[in-house]
Structure 1
Amino acid sequence: MNHFEIPRLKTCRYAIRFWAGIFLACLTGLVCAQSPWPDKPVRIIVPTAAGSGSDLIARTLAQRLSEIWKQSVVVENKAGASGIIGVDAVVKAAPDGFTLLMSSASPLVINPVIFRKLPHDPLKQLAPVSHVGIAPAAFLVNSTTAVTNLKELVALAKAQPKKLSYGSFGQGSGAHLAIEAFNQSAGIDMIHVPYKGTGPAVSDLIAGQITLTLADLATAQSQIKAGKLRAIAINGPARSPLLPDVATFTEQAYPAMEGTYARFGLLAPVGTPQAILNKVSADTITALNDPSVSDRFTSLGYTLTGSTPDKLRNWLKEDAERWGKVIQAIGGIVLD
């Protein structure tokens, strides 16, 4: 071997080690630069106005998640067009986990059936994250009405066909379709009077302008205590601790009303990494099961639990099928 060859070999080895070290240093730097998600503020878009059920849940959840993630979580209300504006904003957001949607099921499963045109397909363009919970409602009549249960209501409606009326917070709303589901199962026909919200419907019910309405349990409880209204049924899966003496629709032989309560879900733009969806789902369950959160919403009539993405996907599918059948049975609803 030439005496010049050994130094050359050593030089090559040193060069290889040197450049390998540089490569590893760069690679380590890149890995370290990727901070765990979330490394910037997360926003939760609510497609309804401040003070709605979705908004109350979103703000409480945002506070708890910000504590868990050590990162700011802000709520943005994008109300209007039956939830279409807010849902569309999330559909068009980057699928990186930094934009989430907190919504009731209506904009997701009812809008696609009743609107002539939508700028999106919610169930295809949104990824389920967590089934947040439900908010059962009470079937209310004026306290002066001689009706104390569903059997008596049905008898009255059949004795006075197309004389009884019910209020809802709009054509195609959850309350409208829920009461229509009851009408179908009971074989009765009541006149629908749409309002711009639950409040005006309740006010007219107290004034005797309509026969009944479906309202959230907190509203129902306050009006019942005031002696103005009477609850004759609950559309939840079980009796409510707020109104323990009021039987459910199922208990009164009308199981078709099961599942017509408000359902709330957390979703993200489709394409969001599954690892992020799973993390948000797990942390949402943790947040919602905090006693300070669950107790507060129980007092309002809500049941909050959280779930895996798959469970929310299944519930939304069931809701879409249920409401689709109700809408078809009443001849369809077409809105522009």
Structure 2
Amino acid sequence: MAIFRSEREGRLRLKIGPDAEEALRILNKKALKGNNEATEQIGLALEDAYKRLLQPSLETEARNEANKQADEEAIDVFGENLRQLMWAPPLGQKNVLAIDPGYRTICKLVCLNAQGDFLTNDTIYPFYSGDKKQEALNKFYSLLHQYQIQAIAIGNGREAERWVKSMKWAGYLSIFSVYESGASVYSASEAAREEFPSLDLTVRGAISIGRRLMAPLAELVKIDPKSIGVGQYHYEVNQKRLKERLDQVVMHCVNRVGVHVNMAGKHLLTYGSGLGPQLAQNIVVYKSQNGAFNSRSALKKVPKLGAKAFEQAAGFLRIPESKHPLDNSGVHPESYGVVEQMAKDLNCNIHDLLE
């Protein structure tokens, strides 16, 4: 890919194909059978056909094959990069203060509760001198105490990270640097406008940074995978294949980890096996109208979530609040009886088996 890119930019010339002399020798050996007055003309015709027709065709074919192979290898790398980002360990349910370092001197602050709900936001200028710097410290301390902050998420900004870690209380809080690629894309997306219609782009971006720390998978599924920063020059590969691969990775990650159905939003649920945008929306609406699900079987009450969709999705949807421990496991409801019998045969309870 790098070679092809350099050629397009005029930095080098690339020639792919067999050695011309060797190729002509092979052709002559196969085609020239005698030594008569026609032999020389046939040889000239072979040379002309090779240089004018066959050689360019071979080069085009070799280029296409090399480009296809490079595409596939790059797409595999991009897919693995995305997988690693989505499988980053979540911080979990803690009160978080997120910092989005802006251009040079400005920092956007956002406070989130343990469920990731937006509480408040502010703007500080920690790298100004005098009153602005002291004001930044005062606002920071105030937010920490008022919202009982337990962890701090800092976007890409070394100065902001150094500023936070230089404070005397830094050792008492968990401070994390968060990979924020794609946060600006999310902040301008329809999903962000739907969640936070009254907030500006910079505040939405800071919220995304904080939530990425708390639950990377749940937050990253809201962003077009190509915008997350899966690798350089991803725009040069086959875009259809790239989209297919990245979508497969997202779906695999979601279904491998499972979804806490009472905490998940529409975008995360959409990737659940057997669901989709409409059923995901129906689940969210049902939760808002009827409260949290208390069992997997309660999902059957969701409009349009039929037996087939339930069969496909149930094993990936987790309900920790359920009285039945298997509702918070990867065991499908149709296999509950098998697990219960195993527990009975081993003279233990289901909790012991799951542990």
TM-score, with structure 2 as normaliser: 0.22
Which structure shows the higher helix fraction? 2
From the CA coordinates, give the structure whose radius of gyration is larger. Answer: 2
Higher relative contact order, chain-length normalized (CA < 8 Å, sep 6+) = 1
Which structure shows the higher strand fraction? 1
TM-score, with structure 1 as normaliser: 0.23
